[in-house]
Amino acid sequence: MFTPHIFVVGFLLGAAVGCAEEPAAPAPPPPAGRDATKIYADFCAACHGDNLHGGKGPSLLTEKSKYGRDDESLTKMILKGRPAGGMPGFAAALNEAEVIGLIAYIREVSMRVVDPALAKSTDLPVAVQKSEKHSYRLESVAEGLDVPWSFVFLLNGHLLTTERPGRLRLVIDGKLQPEPIEGVPEVVAHDEGGLMSIELDPDFAKNGWIYLSFSDAGEEPAAETTTAMTKIIRARLRDNRLVDHETIFSIPKENYQKGFVGYGCRLLFHGEYLYFTVGDRWLPQDAQDLSKANGKVHRVFRDGRIPPDNPFVGQPDAIGSIWSYGNRNPQGLAVDPRNGAIWETEHGPRGGDELNHILGGANYGWPIVTHGINYDGTPISSLTEKDGLTSPAKHWTPSIAVSPIGFYKGNRFPNWKNNLFLGSLGQQKLLRFEINDRNEITHEEELFKGLGRVRDIQTGPDGLLYLSLELVGRPGRIVRLVPVQN
């Protein structure tokens, strides 16, 4: 395997030999190792993207990192990992030569692809885009957003969007208002954590409730936070400030977990119920433990009360809000407007991303069954399915880092009516699914790829399809798909 460090050493040794009076002993061959391209594809691409542009994990194209980008820092990160941020160590999987080669590969690819990758994920196509059933244009609605994780439309047509670092922003007539909304709860804005989903109460016109999910800090002082957990609150917007805060879901702070990954945090209203997701927080076995909130889809009344017909109500030690379990890190929730079926997407580990039809009381298997493996290449389970465990409607290996989903409910794209749209972070895709009345996927289409990490999908009050996009190394945006006559 070629490595720049070894090449330079060899070149200098060769030059010295030419000047010496007696030939020097030949240098020992470099340690054997696998090709750096394959190592990156096998161990890194699932999190950091095929071209280092980011997926479940951050982009490796940025020049600055608070953890350092010198050889020593990168070597330490690769070998020891950073468990709090969701990165395992690879000391048992890579030898010294392979680590050196991997660093050289990352630097080489960064030099080669940083500008084209950023341009590709920043510029919206000007030309008309053609799909199987509709032609459309992509139009920018709002610019300058820092990881726009989720957004909603207010009654006056204004947009209200979260920014993961902890801000709630208002967009009026396509203009991002300079001052964030005040009164937003403090969040743990580390790694995957921050301010995430936002939803309006179905009776928002009457009660004004706005629901937010976020990563909440544990008992430690803010500057020393090491633990966190998913929390959900509701509040009302008054004079550019959130007021009347009420907690809808939380667990005791002494039970918060270390690390800043795997929160879930997607919210969904269906009738009188609020469904929400909590990731496994990188504690896989918790997903099978009904006394733990982790790795579950939950269902509560709008005010946080537990419905008496939830599947595990009354079961000893079980959390009554649990609706389904064995879900690794669910980041998408949607309800089929035709039949009320709940659908969910969840991140697998290295491979094994899933799209699931969620049923009350069902066990979706994580980590007993999975199509993925650990990030260091070791197996998680020998099983991909098992009696009594619910298999996904679709799975992806390698991972595309599935995130939001939404059913199209408008009339501007009649041939897309009631289709399910799915966005990905890793491959920056937007996918369309046709689903029959038996909750089976009958057709799939890729609408685009590489325009940004899709964070949310909504049908607007104007009947257009809206998306929020996180861009690599630059502020994100909200865009919409506008139909064009064929």
Residue 412, token pair as written in the block: 């501007």
Q: Quickly state the pLDDT bin for 42 (edges 50, 70, 90).
A: confident
Over the stretch 99-121, which tens digit does the pLDDT of each residue have? 877 876 777 676 555 444 444 44
CA neighbor of 352 nearest in space, from 329, 323, 333, 320 = 329
Same CATH topology for 4-119 and 125-484: the answer is no
The CA distance from 467 to 451, in Å, is 11
Q: Quickly state the pLDDT bin for 13 (edges 50, 70, 90).
A: very low
Q: What is the pLDDT of residue 93?
A: 87
Instruction: Encode 414-446: b = buried (16+ Cβ within 10 Å), e = exposed.
Output: eebeebbbbbbbbbbbbbbbebeeeeeeeeeee
Residues in Cβ contact with 304 at an 8 Å cutoff, skipping those fewer than 6 apart: 232, 246, 247, 248, 249, 274
Query: Which single residue is written with the structure tokens 């008496």?
Result: 308
Backbone angles phi and psi of 422, in degrees to 5: -130, 135
Mean pLDDT of 91-95: 87
Over the stretch 139-177, which tens digit does the pLDDT of each residue have? 999 999 999 999 999 999 999 999 999 999 999 999 999
CA neighbor of 362 nearest in space, from 396, 324, 331, 400 = 324
The CA distance from 59 to 52, in Å, is 6
Least confident of 92-96, 180-184, 226-230, 370-374: 92-96
Over the stretch 227-272, which tens digit does the pLDDT of each residue have? 999 999 999 999 999 999 999 999 999 999 999 999 999 999 999 9
Backbone angles phi and psi of 47, in degrees to 5: -100, -40
Q: What is the pLDDT of residue 118?
A: 41
Mean pLDDT of 465-485: 95
Mean pLDDT of 319-333: 98
Q: How many residues does the chain have?
A: 486
> Helix, strand, or coil here: 430?
strand
The CATH code for residues 4-119 is 1.10.760.10
Q: What is the pLDDT of residue 116?
A: 45
Mean pLDDT of 293-305: 98
Q: Is the pLDDT of residue 348 over 80?
A: yes
Q: Is the pLDDT of residue 373 over 90?
A: no
Q: Is the pLDDT of residue 412 over 80?
A: yes
pTM of the model: 0.83
Q: What is the pLDDT of residue 342?
A: 98
Q: Residue 163 pairs with which residues in a beta bridge? A: 167
Mean pLDDT of 211-226: 90
Going by the DSSP 8-state scheme, the letter that residue 235 receives in this structure is: E
Q: What is the pLDDT of residue 122?
A: 63
Mean pLDDT of 188-198: 96
The CA distance from 124 to 84, in Å, is 35
Residues in Cβ contact with 1 at an 8 Å cutoff, skipping those fewer than 6 apart: 30, 32, 33, 34, 35, 36, 97, 98, 101
Mean pLDDT of 443-454: 96
Q: Which helix (H) or strand (E) holds 467?
A: strand 465-471
Q: Is the pLDDT of residue 12 over 80?
A: no
The CA distance from 420 to 337, in Å, is 10
Q: Is the pLDDT of residue 11 over 80?
A: no
To the nearest whole number, what is the mean pLDDT of the chain?
88
Least confident of 13-22, 66-75, 290-299, 319-328: 13-22
Q: Quickly state the pLDDT bin for 28 (edges 50, 70, 90).
A: low
Going by the DSSP 8-state scheme, the letter that residue 391 receives in this structure is: P
Q: What is the pLDDT of residue 6?
A: 32
Q: Quickly state the pLDDT bin for 194 (edges 50, 70, 90).
A: very high
By percentage, how much of the chain surpasses pLDDT 90? Answer: 70
Long-range Cβ contact pairs of 426-431 (< 8 A, separation 24 or more) = 426/46, 426/49, 426/50, 426/54, 426/55, 426/56, 426/399, 426/400, 426/401, 426/453, 427/49, 427/50, 427/55, 427/400, 427/401, 428/53, 428/121, 428/452, 428/453, 428/454, 429/400, 429/454, 430/454, 430/467
Q: Is the pLDDT of residue 92 over 80?
A: yes
Pairing of strands 135-145, 474-484: antiparallel
Give the distance from CA 58 to its chain's centroid: 10
Residue 141, token pair as written in the block: 């609605």
Classified by CATH at the fold level, domain 125-484 comes out as: Neuraminidase (2.120.10)
The CA distance from 192 to 415, in Å, is 36
Please report, for the chain, the start and end positions of each structural domain, with discontinuous segments joined by +.
Answer: 4-119, 125-484
Cα 209 to Cα 202, 238, 321: the distances in Å are: 9, 11, 21
Least confident of 55-59, 204-208, 254-258, 389-393: 55-59
